[in-house]
A = this chain, B = another copy of it.
Amino acid sequence: MSNLYNELTCLLEAASADVLELQRLHRRQPSSVTEDLVPGQRMIKTLLIGILCGAAALTIGILIGHFGITKSGSSAPPWLQDVAKDVDESLIETFLSEVNTLRIEENLRELTRVPHMATTAGDERTVQLMLKRWQDPETGLDRAWREEYLVYLSFPDPKKPNKVTVVGPSGDVLHAIREKEKPYTAEQEDPEVVQPYAAYSPAGHAKGKLVYANQGTPSDYERLNQTVDLAGTIAITRYGGAGRGAKAVNAAPYGVAGVLVYTDPRDINDGVTSDAGETYPHSWYLPPSGVERGSFNGQFGDLLTPYLAAKEDTYRIPAENVTGIPPIPIQPIGYEDAYVLICALDGDAAPQNWQGGFNCTYNLGPGFKPTSAFSASDVQMDIFNYEEKRNSSNVMGVIRGSVEPDRYVIYGNHRDSWVHGAIDPSSGTSVMLELSRVLGRLVKQGKWRPRRSIIFSSWGAEEFGLIGSAEYTEQYFTKLSERTVAYINVDIAVFGGATLSAAGMPSVQNVIFTAAKQVNRHKAPHAAAAEPLTFGLFAPQVAAPGRVSTSVYENWLRFSNRTSPALGLIPRLGHITGAGSDYAAFVHYLGITAMDFSHAYDRTKSSARTYPAYHTAYDTFDYASRFIDPGFLSHQAVARTAGNVLIRVADSLLLPLNCSDYAETLEQYLTTAESLYQEQLSAQKIPMEPLKRAVANFRSAASHLDRVIGASDLKNETPLKVRRINDQLMLLDRAFLNPLAFPEKYAYRHVIWASSSAGQPTFPGLADAYAQAESSGQSRDWERVHYQLSVLTQSIDGAAQTLVDVI
């Protein structure tokens, strides 16, 4: 309106100026002469004035008519501008400038004051914190609330701690595994630090000769069983290679009585093992007594209520029917204790690739060397874990969309930790709180309201198996499936200071690149103070001479890249194929386009499986702020990038999802499948041509949709056309869902991104079925390959159908 007013005023002024100029010209005539004018001249003068007045009146009339009166019937309705509004770049700049490292740091400090394992008092404290922040009248969201589920959890018994001992032939305890991690700061002494344990390991007592089973994979046990009779043994395994629970599940068929699992220093510490100056609190490395806790279940979501939200009265399967959890006791221990056990092992030396970071040969067992202090001794496990149904909360908060409130962009992270959880998950929660604060303030100030609705979620009980997010998707399945544009996950925001790391469906690649290019990297203010062994490893790369790294994008490109046929050298966006964090239910169960962001360390400089304090009592504010991200600039970079993406997905007129980038990935998967399987499939008379045609159809449909978009003037089109295209983009991943594709994999329905054990960068169902058929050679298994091909082909064809002209 102000513009119109200005224009009108300006025109009126111009008209007045014309009149004044005429008056001025007129006045050039000497006044005396005027009085002497003959009546004819006076008439002309009057006429002239009349014409001028008439012209002025006409002009004023036109202006009033044009601007002053609202057109009835054909006038533009007030919502017209809103529905055509696109993302506001200046708003994004405002957002970027307001994301504050000190506030992130303060969030982290506040979130990590006490241990906050799911459903404990510490957890409730964080629930209250989230609610307080999201309900803040000045920086909160439109609305925030909690949602509770009654979920099946597993705990050690504080009154009867789990015990692992070496017991001599006469029954005397020769060695007892440490029950608590060694304290270096006050945090480890907090009575709320939970004893290291394997959640969902059964309680029980097991005693037997120790054997070393490497990573506890099926092939590891198969190999070990060739040398050692495993019946009645206790197997010690390294973390990695197989899922946690799988180490026990795989062992049971061989009659193994119990399993120990530890983190080998080679896998986590780059060989560093001494707490006399090397490990935390001197560096980011894991102290010898550190133990990785974890959930040892095999599927995500509440175990007693598969596919049903775990409400109070919901039907629950009998606990004995739960599958995928350890059938025998399993307990995690520190490498300090593992060292004592493994280096005393008798028997043949383990294969070379089973050897770890200890300065001794890893023997297979069974039992200890006669020369060792443990000669003729057994290992005894006394596990007192118990299961309990507990109320776990998600905290939800929303900003209502202005134009399309029925389109959701969901941003989430879990809230529960194993101990203080500074990195996992509070680094992500600190980022989420800062991001929601900046956006909430813009909303409360009336400066912004997103086009689409934004849902923030602080999930509960993730550590026990992504329970909060899984139950939420079960409860609101239809609503979320129909309306969710994208899910953005930031769990562990910062593993290290080297580079942004992102994963997601190929369609989100472009918007992530756009955002990452817009975020500048800053040098850490107190990086110089960090010790070389720790922060130095993960500090922002120094740019090559003559070239300054200015953006998150450029830095990412240097650390991890690939060559795209269409786009050339670009950063490598990871795929989301597993169930490592709360994106799992969104991707696999609902088929919602998803992204996961974090900041990574330089894997050329450290071979650690993850940041070393992962799931231990050392994952504290002190650890995070001194060794993972001093200055919180990596946190800030993640907040800015993920927030930038969030705003773009929420505000863009056209959804920033690119289906041609999806086509590229499908083509790459197809190429891999052809090179791996074509020959054998031809021999089996299983045609690959339908799959090839389907991928070609998808490419062609994606190109077509891109042309339609390119040829559209979206700001001036009917909003229903924009919505139509947006629906095509939003719903693309739904087309890849098939609830019957993977009957053996709980809640996995997405035929492109399902987990796979074949380890090939191609279609998971096909890869797994092929591996099985190739190994068994049975015709029934080759039929499964053909079946998986048909499922896949129909999904890709169906997806292509959603991208072509709608009718």
Q: A453-B807, A807-B401 are known contacts. Are A718 and B57 too (CB-CB below 8 A)?
A: no
CA distance A59 to B64 in the complex (A): 10
Contact with B along A786-802 (1 / 0, CB 8 A): 11011100100111011
Q: In the complex, are the beta carbons of A734 and B46 less than 8 A apart?
A: no
The closest CB in chain B to the CB of A478 belongs to B735
| Given A76-B71, A719-B719, A807-B400, A474:B62 Cβ within 8 A | no
Q: Closest CB-CB distance, A440 to chain B, in whole Å?
A: 15
Check B798–A308 contact: CB distance below 8 A.
no
Of A25-33, A403-411, A619-627, A669-677, the one contacting chain B is A403-411
Query: In the complex the two chains form, is A313's CB within 8 Å of B716's CB?
Result: no
Q: How long is the Cα–Cα vector from A404 to B718 in the complex, in angstroms?
A: 10
Residues from chain B with Cβ under 8 Å of A453 in the complex: 806-807
Q: How far is the CA of A717 from the CA of B728 in the complex (A)?
A: 24
Tell me the number of copies of this protein.
Answer: 2
CA A807 to CA B407, docked complex, whole Å: 9
B309 touches A794 (CB 8 A): yes
Contact of A65 among B64, B314, B719 (CB under 8 A): B64
Chain B min CB distance to A617 (Å): 39
Q: How far is the CA of A65 from the CA of B39 in the complex (A)?
A: 37
| Size of interface on A: residues with Cβ below 8 Å to B | 90
Q: Does A53 contact B (CB under 8 A)?
A: yes
Near B by CB (< 8 A), chain A positions 30-70 give 39, 43, 46, 49-50, 53-67, 69
Known: A315-B789, A478-B734. A77 touches B79 (CB 8 A): no
A398 at the interface (CB under 8 A from B): yes
* Complex alpha-carbon distance, A453 and B724, angstroms: 13
A590: min CB distance to chain B, Å: 13
Please name all residues of chain B whose beta carbon is closer than 8 Å to the beta carbon of A311 when the two chains form the complex.
Answer: 690
A802 and B718 within 8 A (CB): no
Tell whether A740 is near chain B: CB-to-CB under 8 Å: yes
| A69 in contact with B66 (CB, 8 Å) | yes
Interchain CB contact under 8 A, B403 and A718: yes
Which 3 residue pairs across A and B have the least CB separation, nearest first? A61-B61, A65-B65, A65-B66
Query: Could you jot down 8 A-B contacts, CB within 8 Å?
Result: A50-B53, A58-B60, A58-B64, A59-B61, A62-B62, A305-B790, A476-B801, A482-B731
Extra 10 A-B pairs, beta carbons < 8 Å, given A314-B790, A478-B737, A719-B720: A58-B61, A74-B75, A76-B77, A83-B718, A83-B719, A311-B690, A405-B807, A475-B797, A477-B798, A478-B735
Name A residues whose Cβ lies closer than 8 Å to a Cβ of B: 4, 39, 43, 46, 49-50, 53-67, 69, 71, 74-77, 79-80, 82-83, 305, 307-309, 311, 313-315, 398, 400-401, 403-406, 408, 453, 455, 474-479, 482-483, 687, 689-690, 716-720, 723-724, 727-728, 731, 734-735, 737-740, 783, 786-787, 789-791, 794, 797-799, 801-802, 806-807
